[in-house]
A and B are shown apart, each in its own frame.
Chain A
Amino acid sequence: MENILECQNLVKFYPKCLALNSVNLTVPKGKIVGLLGPNGSGKSTLIKLANDLIQPTSGKILIAGMEPGIETKKIVSYLPERTYLNDWMTVNDMIGFFSDFYQDFNKGKAYDMLARLGVNPSLRLKTMSKGTKEKVQLILVMSREAQLYLLDEPIGGVDPAARDYILDTIIGNYNPEATVIISTHLIADVEKILDEVIFINQGNIVLVSTVDDIRENENKSVDALFREVFKC
């Protein structure tokens, strides 16, 4: 099977800190993968590298065989931990913006999800609460028919009810060829939708496994294993 994401000896140095230490990793197509690790473990750095937002110090990161650039941005749908929406725009404006720039954006899907979550699309983003903004942002990102979704802390700021709906959307709405990588520390919440997990700590990949293997071999939930591996 072809890999959607591949890291080869990927190293990222920040001034005074090693964020990724020679990471080798392959993520196949058509999986929902949890990128799990404590704060400052290198999760966001890895995701930023995949989005061409920062450059690797050495080594390579490939998306569908390509180095990050315009072509990969067309097929990667990214949800950063920050809210990046233009304050003065309405949700309708943002939907127009996304469908202008991303050919794979599905407007119908976006309006559908907005209606389900009760967000009025003619409201300005300035007037919305932080949680609502996060919902809008996630809807925009999930309304693309991308090949790789990179979701950095997608459910951190929303209420548990919306959390369930969002996770349902993630499994229900994406095409089976696509891969979703979810970085989070709310493991118990996402565990049920994951196919595979990657444990990362201090820039090193600690474990790559399928969720079924963890349950069978260790006889534990991912959450329990995580607590054990990263015990303080």
Chain B
Amino acid sequence: MLRKLLKYEIKATSRIFLPMYALLIVFALLNKFFMAVNSELLRIPRAIAATVFVFIIIGLCVVTLVVTIQRFNKSLLTDEGYLSFTLPVRIHSHIDSKMLVTLMWTILSFLVSMVSIFIMSIDKTTIWSLHRFVNELMRVLNKIGFNGYVLVLESILFVIIGILSVTLEIYAAITVGNMSSKHKLLAGVGAYLGFGVIQQIIMSIIMSTCEKSISQYFDSMIRAGELAQVQLAQTVLFGLIAYMVIMGVVFYFFTEWMLRKKLNLE
């Protein structure tokens, strides 16, 4: 059933994202053209095209956030919820499908933005410097060896889990906000801020109890060589990933429980 939910979730969201991606690529090509022609006559259209391009990229970030909120809210907590929650599907599958599709669009939006910038700026010098950058990166990784690859893997994991964890925090806040009968939006924003405060408190408790051992660890690592610093980065990343996993899991099960037990659609 998750596959079918994913199919419809992608269908519902692609009609927003795909045109934006197309627009971004078109404006990248347009900018490329203006830069290639480089005529005084085209100065104003060139400036406009460049500005629009930047706005589309900013728009893409905003749209990703808005769609994340709106898809969850509309299909589960408004009238459409009557259909969603009477499908023979488990509630966590609804959360899974929405969160995975958000992850997909966030990563795709990033990649498409990169590609569009690449299209715009591609010429001999950029290719050459990109080539050099990749070579240098590979050289460093090879020098560090196995730990270097672990670090790369951890960074990728960090981004993915970070996106999922933030998405789940937003879902939990929307669900809490929905419990308010009048000011759902305000209550949702309040819940989100509340979650932030709770996390700050937890973080500061952890930090203050382990402060000594953490700073000792950092000191010893910084004084050691390059390899130990890679290890330090690994440990820090691992700690952050573990923290986000825990928060994500908490928000996930909290949202699922609220939807299952506390929801009352209007």
A: residues with CB less than 8 A from B are 14, 48, 51-55, 70-71, 73-74, 76, 78, 80, 82-86, 88, 97, 100-102
Contacts and interface: CB of A to CB of B under 8 A. Distances in A.
B228 to A, nearest CB: 52
16 contacts: A53-B82, A55-B260, A70-B88, A76-B86, A78-B86, A82-B79, A82-B82, A82-B265, A84-B79, A84-B81, A86-B12, A86-B75, A86-B80, A88-B12, A97-B8, A100-B4
Contacts of B265: 48, 53, 82
A78 B90 CA distance: 17
Contacts of B80: 84-86
Contacts, number: 56
A80 B261 contact: no
A44 to B, nearest CB: 10
A43 to B, nearest CB: 15
Nearest to B265: A53
Interface residues of B, number: 23
Contacts of A80: 79, 82
A63 B187 CA distance: 36
A97 B12 CA distance: 12
Interface in B72-93: 75, 79-83, 85-90
B264 interface: yes
Contacts of B1: 101
A101 B82 contact: no
Q: Which of B80, B88, B261 has the most CB of A within 10 A?
A: B88
A52 B90 CA distance: 11
Interface string B54-81: 0000000000000000000001000111
B12 A70 contact: no
B263 A54 contact: yes
A127 B82 CA distance: 21
Nearest to B4: A100
Nearest to A86: B80
A147 to B, nearest CB: 13
A14 B265 CA distance: 13
B79 A73 contact: no
A48 B265 CA distance: 9
Contacts of A14: 264
Contact of A73 (B82, B86, B260): B86
A144 to B, nearest CB: 11
Nearest 9 interchain pairs by C-beta? A82-B79, A84-B83, A73-B88, A80-B82, A84-B82, A74-B88, A101-B87, A84-B79, A70-B88
B240 to A, nearest CB: 37
A195 B174 CA distance: 44
B15 interface: yes
